[in-house]
Amino acid sequence: MTSPNSKVYLFIHVITCVKNKEPLLTKPVRTVLFAHIKKHATESGINVLSVNGTEDHMHAVVQMMATQNLAQIMKSIRTESAAWINEGNFIKNHFEWDDSFAALSISPSSVKQVLDYIEKQEEHHKTKTLESELEVFQKIQI
């Protein structure tokens, strides 16, 4: 049982891709989509501190609560946002997120640095590919 006085500081940096890494998220679509994701997440009790990305993927920082699990959070965000895009006809193609995602825990002292990184996604991806970004996960050794 979780006490209402529990203090939980679980910050997760999540990256999820458009199905087949298709470049479907144009700048105008991203602008409305990411605002919608934050709004829907808040309404669903999910604390999304930041969300941004490029044409083929999205980054988010989520502060998890004691009773939440990451798979459920991501399912909620991806299922609802894909339905919202498709129902709103924001793009010509049928939209889907990839089934997988990558996630890294963030120490509370590094949250601001990761938020800054996510804010600058378009600038970052002028020089780095998504693949090079995801290589970080391959290099993690415990």
Secondary structure (3-state) at 56: coil
Question: Alpha-carbon distance 136 to 19, whole Å?
Answer: 21
Give 60's strand partners: 14, 51
Secondary structure (3-state) at 98: strand
The CATH number of residue 70's host domain is 3.30.70.1290
Query: Is residue 43 in a domain?
Result: yes
What's the domain count of the chain? 1
Q: Read off the DSSP letter of residue 12.
A: E
Query: Is residue 139 in a domain?
Result: no
139 token code pair: 């290099």
Query: Is residue 42 in a domain?
Result: yes
Query: Is residue 2 in a domain?
Result: no
How does pLDDT run along the chain (142 residues), one tens digit per residue?
A: 566 677 788 999 999 999 999 999 999 999 999 999 999 999 999 999 999 999 999 999 999 998 899 999 999 999 999 999 999 999 998 999 999 999 999 999 999 999 999 998 888 777 777 776 767 666 665 5
The pLDDT assigned to 125 comes to: 74
Query: Is residue 137 in a domain?
Result: no
Q: Can you give the residue range of the structural domain that contains 29?
A: 10-130
Query: Is residue 52 in a domain?
Result: yes
Sign of CA dihedral 134, 135, 138, 142: negative
Query: Is residue 31 in a domain?
Result: yes
Give the global pTM.
0.87
Query: Is residue 34 in a domain?
Result: yes
